[in-house]
Amino acid sequence: MSRVNILQIVSFFIYLFYQVLILKNIVLFHTAFCFLYVAYLLVLPVETNQITLMLIGFVLGFSVDVFYDSLGLHALACVLIMYARNSWLNALTPQGGYDSNSIPSMSMNGIQWFVVYAVPMVFLHHAVLFFIEAGGFDMFWFTMLKIMNSTLFTMLAIVIAQFLFPYRKRL
């Protein structure tokens, strides 16, 4: 159990620093941003309690905010998707339910299930992020374009990361 926790803590910092030092500088076509750090929140163990999830989401979002000079913005989006995550996981329960101690990663349920699970979460996160940053719905379609492109880019990065570093089925 303690080994699992240490792994989680280490990967927290890897995701965080990879985001703020490298991915922060990558923007495709002026509109597509990559927020790979969301993947860390998505693959937390299934049985994690909702309050813990939200607190982790808050801490990670807040840390990213400090580097992005957008205090509260990422934290708000992360807390929101972490609040919704467990209900969404319940709705997507595969046949026979989740194994105990399993994590909702690609290696557990296959790429199809994972994309269905992750896309709405990433989309929700990006939608909240960009609309708050834009300060309303003044530039609806431009913001929408940013959200779409960023969702595609982030999803691509997440799926590639899942292929490269597959989580074992059980920790």
- At closest approach, how far in Å is the CB of 77 from other proteins? 9
- At closest approach, how far in Å is the CB of 99 from other proteins? 23
- At closest approach, how far in Å is the CB of 159 from other proteins? 23
Q: Which residues bind other proteins (CB under 8 A)?
A: 20-21, 24-25, 27, 30-31, 33, 50-51, 54-55, 58, 61-62, 65-73, 75-76, 79-80, 83, 132-135, 139, 142
Report d(CA 38, CA 147) in Å as an integer: 14
Residue with smaller CB distance to other proteins, 96 or 135? 135
Residue with smaller CB distance to other proteins, 29 or 168? 29
Whether 167 contacts 103, CB under 8 Å: yes
Residue with smaller CB distance to other proteins, 65 or 122? 65
Residue with smaller CB distance to other proteins, 62 or 113? 62
Cβ neighbourhood burial of 84 (10 Å; 0-12, 13-18, 19+): middle
Per-residue tokens: 94 = 């595969």
Provide the β-strand partners of residue 28: 32
Residue with smaller CB distance to other proteins, 33 or 40? 33
- At closest approach, how far in Å is the CB of 144 from other proteins? 13
- At closest approach, how far in Å is the CB of 69 from other proteins? 4
Selection from 94, 83, 82 nearest residue 41 by Cα: 82
Q: How many other CB atoms are found less than 10 A from the CB of residue 144?
A: 14
Give the CA distances from residue 135 to residues 75, 128, 139, 145, 168, in Å, rounded to whole numbers and listed in that order. Answer: 16, 11, 9, 16, 41
